Chain A
Amino acid sequence: MLWLLAAELRKLVRPLVWGTALAIVAFCLLITWGAANNARAGLASPRIPDVCVQAVTAQCRLVVAHAHATARAAAAATAQLAQPGEVGHVAAGMLASLPGLLLIAMIAGGHWGGEWGSRTIRQLLCREGRRGRVLAAKWLSTWIAGVLTLLACFLVLAGAAPVIAAAAGLPAAHAGLWAGLGSSISAAGRAVVVLGLFAAIGTAAGTVGRGQLATTALTAGSMLLALLVAGIAGLGRLSPASFVQAWMAFGPAGYLPTNFWSRFAGAGPSLGELAGLAGILVTIAIAAGIARWRFAADVTA
């Protein structure tokens, strides 16, 4: 099994995977850069109601003071989130939400669905006919690629985000550089579980789609559908998107968003974290069952 996994990991060293992972890291940097600039703009010109712009009433003075305080707090929160210890929340949130889903969908498409398109699936199955092992190796290697991208994103942001915040002229963070590192690592650990879910869905999608584009579309499409379902009252709690939302405990975003999920996942009654985890594990089991069932069929590529 380890040799097979090594073979699968070796196959992942390809432009498609590098390119997609780099795009995700660049996206995280871009989001940080944009957030820092927005926070600076908010600090320079806080949102003051038009009636108070010229007025000098006591009530307006209070409103203006509150607006400045809010802008300072938002800028400080952004600066704090951009510290190396805290920025793991951004990396974890990105990889456990839509950017991570797109990454896994692309990798699953090329790495698994592409085996059918290029007909290399025949050679693979002639070398390792135990199809359960092939599925496990594909799932693990896709998962590992996602986790390595998360790690890369974390490290790059840890190095670049403080520089971006300083360059934007944001106020210094209250806490130290490495404050919040424990909670960042905890968030990253949770994201690893979600990446496992995305990889399981990608693996199942590969056995259904049996082609690169179909696998990518099915992986991304199934979770996007789950996001839509999550917004339906009653039914939404049973959606895998709700499980992710509950497990990651995504909160409302400030200038620097920590996920691209909560705003789409609906505002229904939230599940507990453990219920979210249980839901994710059940979804992985269902995906594995679908993959086993579909992969047992004839391979005619």
Chain B
Amino acid sequence: MNVISCTRLTKRFGATVAVRELDLDVAAGQVYGFLGPNGAGKTTTIRMLLGLIAPTAGHIRLLGRPLPDPRAVSRTGSMIEEPAFYPWLTGQQNLQVTAWAGGGRAAGELGRVLDATGLGAVAGRKVRTYSQGMRQRLGLAAAMLGRPPLLVIDEPTNGLDPAGIREVRGLLRDLADSGTAVFMSSHLLAEVEQVCDRVAVIVAGRLVEEGPPARLGATRRRVRVRVREADAETAGRLLTRWRARPLDGQFVVEHDSGRDVNAALVAGGVIAESVAVEAPRLEDRFLEIVEEGTHAVAAGG
């Protein structure tokens, strides 16, 4: 069952198209990464998912219900951008008013979510004294209230130290293992790569790539070839059948088979010093996708 299903989702602000015909499906129990450069439309999409802004066109189904349906939104745990709290209340009081605002069902869970996010010791302190990392944890604690089947969170590890990032990563995985779907946007691509089951990349409001993070890299593996300096010119000519560029005395060939590349060189009389297949990290692939997506959007007007 899909917990999020968007069909041709579009949002315009005047003449600006923030999100353009976005199709997206998130299955129950998945950790789904939502990536894109600044201004790509990530937060606009999240706001539409949470009913804060209305789509200009298209449809959203959240937890099986078509939006706008406040019941679906109130069953979704959420944290948008930097979490906001009432500074004159303590951490525990902030969670209490959050639970009460949701109908009081989660009022008995404050201890559980405070412990899960490591805030038990500071729960009695006013939020105005919290560090950014503590506020981030409190935002996650608030999102977890009521054991929601879906969490929609923006930059969950923002402001956390390395130990905190590791804890949150574990927390998200535990939630997913217990059946909670997590839809998260992040700019920490290493985190996304480690935590997410699937990833979508959005550029200029358009979905440009979607799939498991490993596949996103694997489909664009590349071959790094080192040849003798005397053979460089010939090798360059032989490799023109692929996208290849010289880099630091080597050639980087956009192809996923080292065997093909080596065979082409041997057939042309060039013996390579080394041939190595590289699977780019998600970060490299993300930057490539963004670059390609930006060109495509510019070309398409």
Contact = CB atoms under 8 A, between A and B. Distances in A.
B171 interface: no
A3 B102 CA distance: 8
A284 B104 CA distance: 29
B74 A123 contact: no
A263 interface: no
A6 B98 contact: no
A110 to B, nearest CB: 10
Contacts of A4: 100-101, 103
B98 A299 contact: no
A119 B101 CA distance: 16
A66 interface: no
A7 interface: yes
A15 B88 contact: yes
A128 B98 contact: no
Interface residues of A, number: 23
B301 to A, nearest CB: 26
B93 interface: yes
Nearest to B78: A126
Interface string B77-94: 010111111111100010
B297 to A, nearest CB: 23
B35 interface: no
Interface in A1-55: 3-4, 6-7, 10-11, 14-15
Contact of B100 (A6, A126, A298): A6
A10 B93 contact: yes
B54 interface: yes
B49 to A, nearest CB: 10
B180 interface: no
Contact of A124 (B70, B101, B104): B101
B73 A123 contact: no
B52 to A, nearest CB: 5
B226 to A, nearest CB: 53
Contacts of B104: 3, 6
B85 A120 contact: yes
Contacts of B96: 7, 10
B287 interface: no
B88 A127 contact: no
A126 B73 contact: yes
Interface in A117-140: 118-120, 122-130
A127 B52 contact: no
B19 interface: no
A10 B104 CA distance: 13
Contacts, number: 87
Contact of B52 (A15, A118, A298): A298
A112 to B, nearest CB: 13
B37 interface: no
B26 to A, nearest CB: 17
Interface residues of B, number: 34
Given A10-B93, A119-B84, A127 B102 contact: yes
Interface string B44-64: 000100111110000000000
A300 interface: yes
A4 B85 CA distance: 16
A126 B84 contact: no
B249 to A, nearest CB: 52
Given A4-B101, A10-B97, A298-B54, A118 B84 contact: yes
B51 A123 contact: no
Contacts of A6: 100, 104
Nearest to A7: B100
Interface in A97-127: 118-120, 122-127
B296 to A, nearest CB: 28
A129 B74 contact: yes
B14 to A, nearest CB: 12
B76 interface: yes
B66 to A, nearest CB: 13
- Which of B85, B97, B98: most chain A Cβ within 10 A? B97
Nearest to B50: A126
Contacts of B265: none
A298 B86 contact: no
B142 interface: yes
Contacts of A126: 50-52, 73-74, 76, 78, 80
Interface of B: 47, 50-54, 68-71, 73-74, 76, 78, 80-89, 93, 96-98, 100-104, 142
Given A3-B103, A128-B103, 19 more contacts: A3-B100, A4-B100, A7-B96, A10-B89, A10-B93, A15-B88, A118-B85, A122-B50, A122-B80, A123-B98, A124-B101, A126-B52, A126-B73, A127-B98, A129-B51, A298-B54, A299-B53, A300-B47, A300-B52
Interface of A: 3-4, 6-7, 10-11, 14-15, 118-120, 122-130, 298-300
30 contacts: A3-B100, A3-B103, A7-B97, A7-B100, A10-B97, A11-B86, A15-B88, A118-B86, A118-B87, A120-B85, A120-B86, A122-B50, A123-B78, A123-B142, A124-B101, A125-B51, A126-B52, A126-B73, A126-B74, A126-B78, A127-B102, A128-B102, A129-B68, A129-B69, A129-B71, A298-B47, A298-B52, A299-B53, A300-B52, A300-B53
